[in-house]
Structure 1
Amino acid sequence: MTAAAPFCTIVPPFVLDRLAEAGHEPAVHSLALDAAHRAARLSPAPPVAAPGLNRVVYDAGHGQRLPGRSVRTEGRAASSDSSVNHAYDGLGATFALYADVFGRHSIDDRDLRLDASVHYGRDYDNAFWNGRQMVFGDGDNVVFGDFTACVDVIGHELTHGVTQFTAGLDYQDQPGALNESVSDVFGSLVKQYALRQAAADADWLIGAGLLAPGVQGVALRSMKAPGTAYDDPRLGKDPQPAHMRDYVDTSQDNGGVHINSGIPNHAFYLLATALGGSAWERAGRIWYDALTGRTLPADADFTAFARATVAAARARYPDDRPVVDTVTASWAQVGVSPG
């Protein structure tokens, strides 16, 4: 039986902690809900035997019982509720990337039905994957808006499920930062694939449009320029480093999993833009092969993952030495040596 999945949210706990300390009541409420789900540690539900894309969106009705009332199933017409439709479309966009590009049959590669609940809680400032389904808050509309509105957020959270069913990276320190980074990478690729964007044209932001008007920032994270996504009196300054020399040694955030993920994030950005074209075609393929190759230990650090990507590049492109060299160079630029 697959082990319980880590509880993974898109908004880092240190951001909500800062807001809560300033007396922002929705953040206090959101932290309490997150703590309850983190303690639950759900194991994944058995896959539904239904080949192909199969989505169910539920309405939690601002309550806290999951999944809620079924409001849109696969193939049904659009709802009058934009959150329902955004969730439905985001599930589909994520499924499309994994199926079309990587030949993966849903999140678990065994046709797992994609379930999502919208309107969870009141002013809930987060979205998460709990090992079984997606859950979205509406945001408080003061700091955060609707969490269904960003397709890369949906792709990010569902990718925690992919990691759960493949490498199972520990959610602590460097393995945890890799877990978060992989979700950022494929979340960004979901968005790029849906828009058919070349790597050079992508914004490389995670959660662009999620911050409410008046918040000084553009997104939750930037893969292109870690540390620049926001600088706001309420949120503080984006703490992500882009290089190992600035690695943050902390006991917060499971050892900085949402912070130090900026380092492997930036390595992927450098690789994708150096290779050019569509990021999902070569850079994404290499990262996917490394994640799913069954050779990566759950406690892999940045160096181990870098070595896995170099090995994946050699295996997939045996006659294209420049691709392998570019992978190595991209890691070197963020201070990680694959050896």
Structure 2
Amino acid sequence: MTCYILPAHLLIELAEAGDVDLRDTIATLLASATLRAQRETLTEAVQFLDLNAAQLRGPAAEAKAVHDVQGGDERGLPGVLRRKEGDGAAADPTVNDAFDNADRTHDFYRDVLGRHSVDGNGLQLVSSVHFGRDFDNAFWDGTQMVYGDGSGKVFQPGALARDLTVVAHEITHGVVQYTAGLRYRKQSGALNESMADVFGSLVKQHALGQSADQADWLVGAGILGTQLQGVALRSLKDPGRAHQLDRQPAHMRSYVDLPDDGNPRNDHGGVHINSGIPNKAFHLAATRLGGNAWDRAGKVWYDALATKLRVNSTFTDAAAATVASAQALFGGEVASTVRSAWTDVGVS
């Protein structure tokens, strides 16, 4: 499966309102449909097959590479190599943005969480930029990160590779793939999206040296285009208030029960929509614990993801897993804080 930073239902709503060209929307949705099956197959392989196969392993040392798709589609991935580990800056600022933000994300996972790349074994972080023509999305396709340039209508030109939360979000989908493998549907899919948002925000906080109280808790702050009005793509602090079409709930009383029927309006059963609930639970836990969110709350969520959650885990499973991780890592007071955060969003 392929996870996009921008859900398809938002593109449809913008197109129907006349805010974006319908042709651009159709092209994005077709790309999503093409890549979803590929990623689902890869995730299944990672979870259930022999991971010692050479094609699924990278070098033990840190390795990153950025390629240029030159306006091509998924058939042209990864594209022309523009910068690799050890190279100086490239002439293209978008190449450098993708490389430098992947580097910051890699270092966060290594230094804070002790994880070496998405697979834990130094798999090369491959990024491709200039995907499609004015493509308003970024995604992890099961093997790499891909960034469109943005049309200026939904996202500002060049903003997707430039924004650290977007890059860290997509890389975290790779981490999820190699750990719990949360299936991209209904509540397990919403947890998948939430983990990507949580660690996307934490990577930014870590890079800026911000405490939980100082952080803005936004994903994609300041990168929206002319037709998507708001402060960011999503808010962990205030789900449902990031932009004019944001309908993320912050509590189970407002949970949006949608079918996973292949209709892009239904967001794979609400994976981007309902991720607001676990996002808010994390925000509550982190701000109540205080200090740097990555020191305790982040380590609790990562431990739960890496050691306790499974492919079909629900919100209730996530609450139990994070409480158990908190107890094991930090003791009863932190566990109690984590438990209350979930209770306060209606999950028990």
User: What range is the shorter-chain TM-score in?
Assistant: over 0.9
Q: Among 165, 186, 201, which residue is 1:188 paired with? A: 201
Q: Among 63, 73, 81, which residue is 2:72 paired with? A: 63
CA 1:330–1:190: 2 relative to 1, 3 Å = same
1 CA distance for matches of 2:148 and 2:97? Answer: 13
Alignment match, 1:274? 288
SS of the residue 2:162 aligns to: coil
Q: Among 301, 321, 326, which residue is 1:287 paired with? A: 301
Instruction: Verify: 1:242 aligned to 2:240, yes or no.
Output: no
SS of the residue 1:199 aligns to: coil
Kept after mapping to 2: 8 A contact 1:67/1:116: yes
Alignment match, 2:225? 212
Instruction: Verify: 1:46 aligned to 2:56, yes or no.
Output: yes
2 CA distance for matches of 1:307 and 1:196? Answer: 30
Q: What does 1:9-158 correspond to in 2, within 5 Å?
A: 9-21=4-16, 22=18, 24=21, 25-41=23-39, 43=42, 45-51=55-61, 53-64=62-73, 65-145=76-156, 146=158, 147-158=160-171
Per residue, is there more helix in 1 or in 2? 2
**Which 5+ residue runs of structure 2 have no aligned equivalent?**
47-54, 260-265
Instruction: Verify: 1:173 aligned to 2:173, yes or no.
Output: no
RMSD: 1.3
Provide, for residues 86-105 of structure 1, a one-character-per-residue CA deviation record: whole Å limited to 9, x for no partner: 10011101101100001111
Cα distance, 1:141 vs. partner?
A: 1.1
1 CA distance for matches of 2:38 and 2:113? Answer: 32
Alignment match, 2:49? none
1 CA distance for matches of 2:30 and 2:128? Answer: 18
Cα distance, 1:27 vs. partner?
A: 2.1
1 CA distance for matches of 2:133 and 2:183? Answer: 31
Instruction: Verify: 1:304 aligned to 2:304, yes or no.
Output: no
* Counterpart amino acid of residue 60 in structure 2: A
Cα distance, 1:214 vs. partner?
A: 6.0
**Which 5+ residue runs of structure 1 have no aligned equivalent?**
1-5, 232-236
Kept after mapping to 1: 8 A contact 2:309/2:321: yes
Cα distance, 1:297 vs. partner?
A: 2.4
TM-score (norm 1): 0.92
* Counterpart amino acid of residue 285 in structure 1: K
Residue identity over aligned pairs, in percent, reads: 52
Kept after mapping to 2: 8 A contact 1:150/1:209: no
Provide, for residues 166-200 of structure 1, a one-character-per-residue CA deviation record: whole Å limited to 9, x for no partner: 11111111111001001100011111111111111
1 CA distance for matches of 2:314 and 2:94? Answer: 37
When structure 1 is superposed on structure 2, of 303-312 and 201-210 the one drifting more is 201-210
Instruction: Verify: 1:328 aligned to 2:328, yes or no.
Output: no
2 CA distance for matches of 1:31 and 1:215? Answer: 18
2 CA distance for matches of 1:40 and 1:333? Answer: 37
SS of the residue 1:128 aligns to: strand
Alignment match, 1:227? 240
* Counterpart amino acid of residue 18 in structure 1: E
Provide, for residues 194-241 of structure 1, a one-character-per-residue CA deviation record: whole Å limited to 9, x for no partner: 11111111110111122024642111110000000001xxxxx20100
Cα distance, 1:73 vs. partner?
A: 0.6
When structure 1 is superposed on structure 2, of 141-150 and 95-104 the one drifting more is 141-150
Alignment match, 1:234? none
TM-score (norm 2): 0.90
1 CA distance for matches of 2:294 and 2:221? Answer: 20
When structure 1 is superposed on structure 2, of 281-290 and 201-210 the one drifting more is 201-210
